[in-house]
Amino acid sequence: MSEQRKKVTAPAIRAMKGKSRIGMLTAYDYPSAKVADLAGADIILVGDSLAMVVLGYPDTLSVTVEDMLHHTRAVVRGTKSALIVGDMPYLSYHVSIEESVRNAGQFMQAGAHAVKVEGAKKSRLDTIAAILDAEVPVMGHIGLTPQSVNAMGGFKLQGKNADDARRLIDEAVALERIGCFSIVLEGVPTELAAIITEQITIPTIGIGAGPSCDGQVLVFHDVLGIYDGHTPKFVRQYAHIAQDMQTALETFLSDVREGRFPDEVKESFHMASDEELKRLYASRDDGGVVVEMPKAQ
Residues found near ligand KIV in the complex (CB under 6 A): 26, 45, 47-49, 87, 184, 186, 207, 217, 219
- Can you name the residues that pair with 207 across neighbouring β-strands? 186
Whichever of 184 and 195 has its CB closer to ligand KIV, that residue is 184
Q: Checking DSSP bridges between strand 114-118 and strand 83-87, what pairing results, if any?
A: parallel
Contacts for 163 with CB less than 8 Å, ≥ 6 apart: none
The minimum distance between CB 295 and ligand KIV, in angstroms, equals 54
The minimum distance between CB 207 and ligand KIV, in angstroms, equals 5
Listed in sequence order, the DSSP H helices in the chain are 10-15, 30-39, 50-53, 65-78, 97-109, 122-133, 149-152, 162-178, 190-199, 220-223, 241-257, 274-282
The minimum distance between CB 36 and ligand KIV, in angstroms, equals 12
Q: Could you tell me the CA-to-CA distances from 38 to 41, 43, 205, 221 in Å, in that order?
A: 8, 12, 20, 17
DSSP character at residue 241: H
Whichever of 146 and 189 has its CB closer to ligand KIV, that residue is 146
For every residue of 156-179, DSSP letters joined together read -----SHHHHHHHHHHHHHHHHHT
Active site amino acids: 186
Helix, strand or coil for residue 140? strand
Whichever of 87 and 171 has its CB closer to ligand KIV, that residue is 87
The minimum distance between CB 158 and ligand KIV, in angstroms, equals 14
Whichever of 149 and 293 has its CB closer to ligand KIV, that residue is 149
Name the closest residue to ligand KIV (Cβ).
47
The CA distance from 44 to 189, in Å, is 24
Whichever of 233 and 284 has its CB closer to ligand KIV, that residue is 233
The CA distance from 285 to 197, in Å, is 82
The minimum distance between CB 19 and ligand KIV, in angstroms, equals 22
The CA distance from 130 to 77, in Å, is 28
